[in-house]
Amino acid sequence: MSTLVKDAMSKEFVTAKKTEKIGEIRKLILTAENRVIFILDKKRVEGVITESDIIRKECDDDKPCSSIMSAPVISIGMEHTLQEAAKYLTNNRIEQLPVISETGEMTGVITSRDIVKDLIVEVKQPKLSPERAAIYLSMTNEREREDHWLQKCVEEGYRVVITQVGTTAEKLPIKLREATTVAAIARGVIKEDTREKIALSNAVRDAYIQLASINPGLGGGFKVAVVRGEGRITVAAFGKCGHALANGPNNLVMGFSII
């Protein structure tokens, strides 16, 4: 959902009355370290004066600032999105965009810095990718933690299934594919059609190829997680190769496919 202007706007802005003299506005720009002054009349924007107006125009410091202010002023409503605000700023080449309430009063300003700051916050928010989700689910051996990651997947809108596979080396590729496909269909992760089954099969194959290269000629027992995100499906298998009682290391393998 797009961020609204009212949620990102700054309420710190500099104003003046149109009866104030240009000399006073000049001092205000210097002391306030703000290059934009909004001229208000009963909280309504009448005009705007920028640092460039003071520099470029022949200004008599004793004249009212209304003689050099720009009007009408481009503004935006509180319920508009930041994407719309960005277009206003870019298309009109302005530094600050006044935000106007439903009653016509100025309530804040939006700058390019406000927009970038909001984007940075959005980027920093952690997002659980299908790949990370599959890894966590396949490696988790506690029910409470498993439920935690399943809930996270639901929040991200992913479709998920977990299954167990254990067999000999000869049967491992077939069992791995069959068990994963049956579980994925049963849980609604994929539809029972050829295209989606092939996509899942390709991801399982990639995972098996890694297993076969790490421990050639060995079967084993694995916990398999399948996570379907937007446009792609991920398979992660975690477990041991060889005899169930063998004290060997756990292996994590993954496969991906476009779906």
| 79-101 average pLDDT score | 91
- The helix/strand/coil state of 164 is strand
Asked if residue 16 has pLDDT above 70, the reply is yes
Q: At what angle do helices 194-214 and 172-186 cross, to 10 degrees?
A: 140
Facing residues of 76 across strands?
A: 99
Q: Which residue has the higher pLDDT, 173 or 116?
A: 173
pLDDT over 60 (residue 120): no
pLDDT over 70, % of the chain: 92
pLDDT digits (tens, 9 = 90+) for 56-66: 666 788 999 99
pLDDT band at 126 (very low <50, low <70, confident <90, very high): low
Residue with the bigger pLDDT between 115 and 165: it is 165
Element (H, E) at 96: strand 96-100
pTM (global) more than 0.75: no
Q: Please give the Cα distance from 165 to 69 (Å, whole number).
A: 75
The whole-number average pLDDT for the span 102-116 is 90
Cα–Cα distances in Å, from 241 out to 137, 192, 214? 19, 30, 9
Residue with tokens 């609204």: 4
- Positive or negative: CA dihedral 93, 95, 98, 99: positive
Structural domains of the chain, with CATH: 5-122 (3.10.580.10), 130-258 (3.40.1510.10)
**Residues 110-139, mean pLDDT to the nearest whole number:** 78
Instruction: pLDDT band for 1, please (50, 70, 90 cuts).
Output: low
Cβ(235)–Cβ(211) below 8 Å: no
CA distance 58 to 67: 11
